[in-house]
Structures are given as structure tokens and as C-alpha cells.
Homo-oligomer: A and B are copies of this chain.
Amino acid sequence: MNAAQIERGSAGAVPPPGAAEETLETRLLRRILRGVGNPNIELVMWNGAVVRPGDAHGEALNRVLIKDRATLFGLLRDTQVHFGDAYSEGRIEIEGDFVQLLETVYRSATRELRKGVLARVVERLHSGPRRTRQNTLAGSRENIHHHYDIGNDFYALWLGSTMAYTCAYYPTPEATLDQAQIAKFDHVCRKLRLRAGESVVEAGCGWGGLALHMAQHYGVKVRAFNISREQIKYARGRARALGLDGRVEFVEDDYRSIGGQYDAFVSVGMLEHVGVENYPTLGRLIRRVLPAHGRGLIHSIGRNVPGELQAWIERRIFPGAQPPSIGQFMQIFEPADLSVLDVENLRLHYAQTLRHWLELYERNVERVRALYDEKFVRMWRLYLAGSTAGFTTGTLQLFQVVFAPSANNDVPMTRAHLYP
């Protein structure tokens, strides 16, 4: 029995002749496919039965193998979250190109979602309350610990030598991961127009790569905040090794504790963890720490439309995370009298960064397995592949926003200085 025999009509139509063979399971699988917009993939059941969308043509498809009936029912209840859990636990296997399969599903699910106004309303209703943990001071600590304190050794296996865990910047398609991360540091520093002797405050500094680069190559003094204990420890070690500990201070504290004034404010990859409800607070903080001649940059994953992170990623990987639309992003700046000077969308750079991370990850997968277990290996593979698909399909965006206090006229007339 092949797929064409099981399903010839378009999905949702009256069962075609020969449908007497249809089982409850195949009908349910077709319902799951319809729910995500009938992507061009095959679902294969534990008994070998195959279901594919009615409008699929003969081309080679990627396949999802569903290993037991319980998984099928889980997918019916909550496709997004259960797919992730079942894949992590080995109850779902993939045949073919994992990223391509996820892209196919993301594209068709997005089309499906946009078909009906109702669906859009449902998506909006999901805004806000769905997040598993709020970003209060204690909540943020919990959320950040969950993800960033897994172990520096683990991240070192696939982030490259910069340990930058944010979108890189590829000046040319041939750039390596390390080159692109350093190019990102420089792109950010140029956008901030850093001058030797100036001071910079960084909110959410990861393993310290950008802070150290700014001090070393632009001659600035940096105070860098982070609530991940593991990352701060690592960053301080790097500062000492580079002899930069007099010029870069790593502070283990929440961004909400930032005081003083600085020539520049920078935050790369923290905003995702702030939560839209805290944006006006962040804006007031930035306005307070920037003098009239100051300027700032925020780099964050975003979305075209307000909404939540993919449910499984928010549940299992990034609790409390929420990528903003540009409209939401502006809730930082508009109430705080900050003027937005430049917004750049680097979506395709993140897709390329993730391809490079995934490649390194698979190259070192035995060492990941040795550090953790098979479930962990699969969770992180899905997360990296799913994020790649998110950026290639436009489900996710990456925004770099440059801003300054509104009265600051010492801003460059053109952006030519970014392209030397």
C-alpha cells in the first residue's frame, strides 16, 4: 500500500474510492497534517502505513516516523509541544533533511494560520499569558539559569572560539563563524561610534566576547551585566587572561540594577528575555544612564507580527522568552524620548549562524552525548534545526536598533562609516 492509495483527494474532502481501507489512525494523521496546512511531507506509522497530503505530487518528500499510538494522540492534543517532546524521546524519527522538513512545516503552518481572521485572533489571544515564567527579578534568574548555566563546556563545543551565542554578521557569504562573530562585534561598535576613552554599559553580556572586544579594539571602559553565574565566571577568566580586567568589569546582577552614566548602552541578545511588559522600564533606565550625547544599540530576535516564541522552544529551551515585533520594540523608546536612528534586519545572518552552529554541534555530538544523554542531544538538535527554519522562513527576524536621546544632534549623517 502506498501513500497515493491512502489519499488521493485533497485533504478534508470526502474520502476517495477505496477509502474503506482508511483506519482511524490514518484519518487522525490527516487531521494533524491539515492542522499545519498540509505540508509536503509524509507521515509513517509504526505499522508502516503512510499518510501524505492529498495535493502532494510525486517528488521525494521528507518523512516523519511516528513510533506508537500514544505519540499520535499526543500530536492531536498539542502538535507543537508534543512533536518536540516526542522527537527528544525518540518516539518520532526523521528521514531526510531535518531543517528542510521543518521549513516545509513552518511555511505551510504560517499559510494556514493566515488564512482565517479567526486564527489570527487566536494567535493574539496567546500573547502574554502563555509564557511559562514571567521575568520578575527572581523569575529572570530562574529562566536564565535554566538555559545559560547548562555548562560552559557544552556551549564551547559548537559556538566557536568567540563563545558569542547571538546572530553573527557575514560581510561575505564565505565568512567563517568566528570571522562573522568578530564582524558582528565590529558592526555593533561602528554603529555605536565608540571612541577611545569612552565608557560603555552592556546589559546581558553572555560570555563577555563583545565587552572584551570593545575594550581591546576600541579603547573603551566597559561595565557588563549578566545574571548567569557560569557566564560571568567564564568572562572574568577571559578578562584576566587578556589583561583586560582593569578595563572591563563583569557584574553579576540584573540589568535593572544598572546605575551611573555611560557614553553608550549596548545589549545583544538579552531583550528576548526581558518581556514586553518590562520594555517601558528598560527605556526609562536607558534614558537615565545616557547623557545628551549618548547613543545605544539593542540587538534582538524579533517577529513581523506580535506573538509568542514557538511553544516547545519556550517550554523546554527558553522559558520566559518572547521575541518582539518592531511595534512592540518601540515600547522601549517611545515613552522614553529616545530617537530611533537605524533598524537593520539580519534575519538571514541568523539562519547562516545557526547552520554553522548545527554543523559544529553534529561534529561534536558524541561529546555532547557523553556530557548529557541521548534525550538532551535530540532536544538541542531540534532546537537548532527549528531555529534555522524559523529564520529561513521568516517566522523569526533579527533586529539591530540604534538610538539616541532625541536632542542628540551629534549623529552621523549617513551610514557609510559602517561599510569601510
Chain B proximity of A323: nearest CB distance (Å) = 13
How far apart are the CA atoms of A169 and B394 in the complex, in Å?
31
Chain B proximity of A291: nearest CB distance (Å) = 15
Instruction: Name A171's contact: one of B107, B331, B411, B414 (CB within 8 Å).
Output: B414
- A90 proximal to B (CB < 8 A): no
Tell me whether A340 and B337 are in contact in the complex, defined as CB-CB below 8 angstroms, given that A330-B325, A394-B406 are known contacts: no
How far apart are the CA atoms of A349 and B413 in the complex, in Å?
7
- A327 proximal to B (CB < 8 A): yes
How far apart are the CA atoms of A94 and B406 in the complex, in Å?
27
Interface size class for chain A?
35 or more
Chain B proximity of A50: nearest CB distance (Å) = 28
Chain B proximity of A168: nearest CB distance (Å) = 11
Interface secondary structure of A, over-half rule: mixed
How far apart are the CA atoms of A408 and B394 in the complex, in Å?
8
Chain B proximity of A76: nearest CB distance (Å) = 28
Chain B residue numbers with a CB within 8 Å of A338 are 304
Residue of B nearest to A340 (CB): B326
Contacting pair A107 B343 (CB below 8 A): no
- Residue picked from A173, A304, A333, most chain B C-beta under 10 Å: A304
19 contacts between A and B (CB under 8 A): A107-B407, A171-B414, A304-B333, A304-B337, A304-B340, A306-B334, A326-B326, A327-B330, A327-B334, A330-B330, A339-B394, A339-B397, A340-B343, A340-B345, A414-B419, A415-B415, A415-B418, A415-B419, A419-B419
What are the nearest 5 A-B pairs in CB distance? A343-B343, A327-B330, A394-B406, A416-B419, A419-B419
- For the complex with contacts A304-B333, A340-B343, A340-B345, 4 further pairs of A-B residues with Cβ separation under 8 Å are A304-B340, A305-B335, A306-B334, A327-B331
